[in-house]
Chains A and B, each alone.
Chain A
């Protein structure tokens, strides 16, 4: 009896130990990045590395002074908000129709973008956008990023729409409501939280996406992620400013993801896993 209790305690202790170990491995690199961003420039590259230092904002100041960080950030914001809005505009009605009719091919079609390598689309896009002189335009960037946001919106919203009892719609239909009216007036308010989650996830993935902006943006429309090379620099060791840039770029997605963490897994697996 007593033995079993002791074993139980040991097992729990061992488990907590493993949890702490995993936490350390997961957190240390990120903590190191943030710490380095606040180090005085001579201490960032100190060897052996230092843990105790006088924190400074000099790296952040240098970042905004030596690079057009703020205008890159503005580009990122325009592209991300634009593509999220477009994803919602097309995705909400599509998810509703798929959920209602159980005809799922429109939803599956959008998944193609989740599976094929981005370069597959980027090659023809590049040729086509160049022909119409749209390389570097916000329009080209927003359209390309909407390819990322659309499947997220559709697949996150599908289970939400599926969760509404049919009788709600049927009652509205008997009252002579058109399908479009049912969507905007009845269904949409019921799935408001799902819409919020899908918008946040779409925002995060659009913000994080690298490949398309690498080719489709130019000096004026470069997003933060595509400008990462500018921060790395040519063989320089301006690590303080580099880590300041990394910290600032990672901040919006991390804060937003923390808000929706409960729905994250079901959202990210796009229908493959019920979370």
Chain B
């Protein structure tokens, strides 16, 4: 008798719990799950110049394979991703070590370090647009003051990708550093003490002990950055819109322009689904890597 009562309360509780998450789930289904399914369907449609829509089978996907601009966009996306990720991880780990050894870190220093990644990427783009102006910008003035040749930065087809990678790294290296700093602070101090007693040099201690122990944290930071880097949009759209020419036309920028400038919604859907698959693939690969370096 009391058993039935208990099951009844439990059932009631389950129902109440479901009711609590229902709004969030319903919202996510309506705003994400359903639209994604709709995008998959749109990927099989073509839109004529008059906006008339018809079923096109795999036309958009075969178009994608023979589209030079798609392969170029893929190359730009990957180049930007690799360059930025390496910069941010290397400098992020360095900065984390520096912060870790500065024992008493005033709150103001911490606010200073979070300020780049808390400001809108669009503002970062506006700001660097002015600093990196080829003729009047402060960056070229500083270069020349040191006797170095000036650069065209964002206006140069050769340098635009490294320049965008630099801007993004300026913004997000402190973020990587704070994640790695958290990892450093959670390492047991006993391992360092043992290494010190054994007379290991600071560099050897880092290479043999700290770095391997930190790897899972570093891979986590890499996953979080990869997701953003593979769908790079804001800074490029505000500074170059994919230019000069198509030199910084990442897949996300390209897909956006196909959809909202050329209004080829079907082809844009195919492009975005491909990019989404790339992002999820990268996350899964990194996740396996994290499993491999876990301790």
Binding site for B on A (CB under 8 A): 11-12, 15-16, 18-19, 22-23, 25-27, 29-30, 32-33, 36, 45, 47-49, 89-91, 93-94, 96-98, 100-101, 103, 106, 109-110, 112-128, 143-144, 146-147, 150, 154, 178-180, 183, 204, 207-208, 210-211, 214-215, 225, 228-229, 231-232, 237, 239, 242-243, 245-246, 249-250, 253-254, 257-258, 261, 264-265, 268-269, 272-275
- B271 nearest in chain A by CB position: A119
Contact residue among A12, A124, A239 (Cβ-Cβ distance under 8 Å from B39): A124
A-B interface contact total, Cβ < 8 Å: 264
Our pick among B27, B95, B116, B255 for the contact of A146 (Cβ within 8 Å) is B27
Structural contact, B24 and A120, CB atoms closer than 8 A: no
Q: Which residues of A contact B276 (CB under 8 A)?
A: 116-117, 120
**In the complex, which residues 99-118 of chain B have their Cβ closer than 8 Å to any Cβ of chain A?**
99, 101-102, 107, 109-116, 118
B residues near A (Cβ < 8 Å) are 13-14, 16-21, 23-25, 27-28, 31-36, 38-39, 42, 94-95, 98-99, 101-102, 107, 109-116, 118-123, 125-131, 135-136, 138, 141, 170, 174-175, 178-179, 182-183, 186, 202, 217, 220, 223-224, 227, 230-231, 233-234, 237-238, 252, 255-256, 259-260, 265, 268-269, 272-273, 275-276, 279-280, 283
B39 to chain A: which residues have CB within 8 Å? Answer: 120-121, 123-124
Question: Is A232 a contact partner of B178 (Cβ separation < 8 A)?
Answer: no
Main secondary structure of the interface of B (DSSP, over half): helix
A-B contact pairs, 15 of them (CB 8 A): A23-B109, A26-B115, A29-B131, A94-B23, A112-B32, A116-B32, A122-B259, A123-B259, A126-B260, A179-B20, A208-B120, A232-B238, A249-B120, A257-B114, A258-B111
Would you give the shortest CB distance from A79 to chain B, in whole angstroms?
14
With a CB–CB cut-off of 8 A, which chain A residues contact B21?
Answer: 93-94, 97-98, 106
Q: What's the nearest-Cβ distance from chain A to residue B30, in Å?
A: 9
Q: Is the interface of A mostly helix, strand, loop or mixed?
A: helix
Knowing A19-B98, A273-B182, say if A123 contacts B268 (CB, 8 Å).
Answer: yes
B102 touches A16 (CB 8 A): yes
